[in-house]
Structure 1
Amino acid sequence: MLFAFSIAPAGTPGDSVSAAVADAVRVVRESGLPNETTSMFTTIEAETWDEGMDVIKRAVEAVQAHAPRVSLVLKADIRPGHTGQLRSKVERVEAALDEG
């Protein structure tokens, strides 16, 4: 299962959210799950719904330590029996681009 999510603090002074986001990404990386962080989302690959949601919950809690309000955007690709999709989905698109 792939989980793409974005967590942002709200109700804090200033425009920068980098410290809060860094704490969330730290939780993700320490989880040991395959992951990727881009400018807008972090994606993790988990074996089960509970495993993925546990990491997301702990990442939200890390951001909550910085702000009175937190926004979470979540998208999931729930496909039991498929692993390694964090990289192989991108590889299939790249291969299609190379073909044509």
Structure 2
Amino acid sequence: MIVAFSISPSGGDAVDADGGMSAAVAEAVRVVRASGLPHQTTAMFTYLEGDWDEVMAVVKQATDAVAALAPRVGLVLKADIRAGHTEGELAGKVTRVRAHLDD
């Protein structure tokens, strides 16, 4: 499965001097990187690939890491659950689309 998720901290120590939230978000990204699962972080979402239990455990740990800095946390999560496709899809989906673009 592939999960796209975004964690949004609100208030507390999560707010950077410039009003941003990048330091708190970085804590979530550290958790994702330490997981060893295939992942990709973009400006708006982090994509994570693996089986249900391991992916959801990482999402929970990342959310908890942000919650340690913020009194309120928003989580947006979208999942692509496709039987028989448990790895290599993070890049595979993009490769298949590009093949159509190259026609």
Normalising by the smaller structure, the TM-score range is over 0.9
Q: How far apart are the structure 2 equivalents of 1:90 and 1:15?
A: 34
1:1-100 to 2 correspondences below 5 Å: 1-12=1-12, 13=15, 15-46=19-50, 48-82=51-85, 83-99=87-103
Unaligned 5+ segments in structure 1 are none
Q: What secondary structure does 1:39 align onto?
A: coil
Q: Report runs of 4+ in structure 1 exceeding 6 Å deviation.
A: none
Q: State the one-letter code of the partner of 2:28.
A: A
Unaligned 5+ segments in structure 2 are none
Q: State the one-letter code of the partner of 1:31.
A: S
Q: What secondary structure does 2:82 align onto?
A: coil
RMSD: 1.1
Q: How far apart are the structure 1 equivalents of 2:54 and 2:79?
A: 13
Counting aligned pairs with the same residue, the percent is: 62
Query: Normalising to structure 1: TM-score of the pair?
Result: 0.93
Q: How far apart are the structure 1 equivalents of 2:68 and 2:29?
A: 14
Question: Number of residue pairs matched?
Answer: 98
Query: Normalising to structure 2: TM-score of the pair?
Result: 0.90
